[in-house]
Amino acid sequence: MLNTYTYPEFAYVQSPEQAAGTVKRHPVVIIGAGPIGMTQALDLAARGVASIILDDNNTVSIGSRAVCYAKRPLEIWDRMGLGEGYAARGIQWKVGKVFFRNDLAYQFDLLPEAHHKMPAMINLQQYYLEEELVKACDANPLVDLRWKHKLLGLEQTSGTEDDLATLTVETPDGIFQLQADWVIAADGANSDTRRMVGADFTGHFFQDRFLIADVVITKTEFPTERWFWFDPPFHRNQSVLLHKECDNVWRIDFQLGWDADPVEEKKPENVIPRIQAMLGPDVEFELEWVSVYQFACRRVDNLRCGRVLFTGDAAHQVSPFGARGANTGVQDCDNLGWKLALILKGDAPLALLDSYHEERAFAADDNLLNSTRSTDFITPKSRASLRLRNAVLELARTEPFARPLVNSGRLSTPTPYVHSSLNTPDETPFNGSMKPGTNCADAPIQKNGPNGPESAWLLNQLGNGFTLLSFGPGALPMSVGNVTAQVLEVGKDILDTQGILTQRYDAQPGTVYLIRPDQHVAARWRAFDATAAQAALQRALALH
Amino acid sequence: MPTPSQLIRTPNIPGPDGFYEELIAAQRDLSDQQADMMLAKLVLILANHVGDRAVLSEALALARQNTLDTPA
Assign A535 to helix, strand or coil: helix
Min Cα distance A413 → chain B (Å) is 23
pLDDT given at position A347? 97
CA distance A251 to A1: 15
Residue B30 touches chain A, beta carbons under 8 Å: no
Over residues B23-59, the pLDDT tens digits come to 999 999 999 999 999 999 999 999 999 999 999 999 9
Any idea how long chain B is? 72
CA distance A531 to A281: 71
pLDDT given at position A65? 86
pLDDT given at position A1? 60
Q: Which residues pair with A249 in a beta bridge?
A: A216
Longest dimension (CA), chain B: 48
Interface test with A, best of B44, B45, B49 (most A CBs within 10 A): B44
Min Cα distance B32 → chain A (Å) is 12
In this structure, the number of other CB atoms found within 10 A of the CB of residue A435 comes to: 15
| Residue of chain A nearest B36, judged by CA positions | A387
What is the distance in angstroms between the CA of the first residue and the CA of the last residue of chain B? 43
- Whether residue A391 and residue B48 make contact (CB cut-off 8 A), yes or no, is no
Task: Count Cα neighbours of A145 within 13 Å in the Cβ-side half-sphere.
Answer: 27
Contact A85, A69 (CB under 8 A): no
Backbone φ, ψ for residue A278 (5° rounding): -75, -45
- Whether residue B44 and residue A395 make contact (CB cut-off 8 A), yes or no, is yes
B40, B45, B48: residue with CB nearest A387: B40
CA distance B35 to A325: 41
Query: Residue-wise pLDDT tens for chain A (544 aa)?
Result: 657 889 999 999 999 999 999 999 999 999 999 999 999 999 999 999 999 999 999 999 888 888 899 999 999 999 999 999 999 999 998 899 999 999 999 999 888 899 999 999 999 999 999 999 999 999 999 999 999 999 999 999 998 878 999 999 999 999 999 999 999 999 999 999 999 999 888 876 667 888 999 999 977 777 889 999 999 999 999 999 999 999 889 999 999 888 888 889 889 898 999 899 888 888 899 999 999 888 778 899 999 999 999 999 999 998 888 888 899 999 999 999 999 999 999 999 999 999 999 999 999 999 999 988 998 999 898 999 999 999 999 999 999 999 999 999 888 899 999 999 999 999 999 999 999 999 999 999 999 888 888 999 999 999 999 999 999 999 999 999 999 999 999 999 999 999 999 999 999 999 999 999 999 999 999 999 999 999 999 999 999 7
- Whether residue B45 and residue A395 make contact (CB cut-off 8 A), yes or no, is yes
In this structure, the number of other CB atoms found within 10 A of the CB of residue A511 comes to: 23
Contact A293, A247 (CB under 8 A): no
Min Cα distance B37 → chain A (Å) is 6
CA distance A374 to A393: 14
Contact A322, A409 (CB under 8 A): yes
How many A×B Cβ pairs under 8 Å?
25
CA distance B56 to B46: 10
Interface test with B, best of A385, A394, A397, A403 (most B CBs within 10 A): A394
CA distance A126 to A312: 15
Instruction: Report strand pairing: A25-31 vs A51-54.
Output: parallel
Helices (H), A306-382: 325-344, 351-378
| Residue of chain A nearest B41, judged by CA positions | A391
Q: Which residues pair with A300 in a beta bridge?
A: A201
CA distance A26 to A340: 14
> What distance lies between CA A29 and its chain's CA centroid?
20
Residue A435 has what DSSP assignment? -
- Whether residue A388 and residue B43 make contact (CB cut-off 8 A), yes or no, is yes
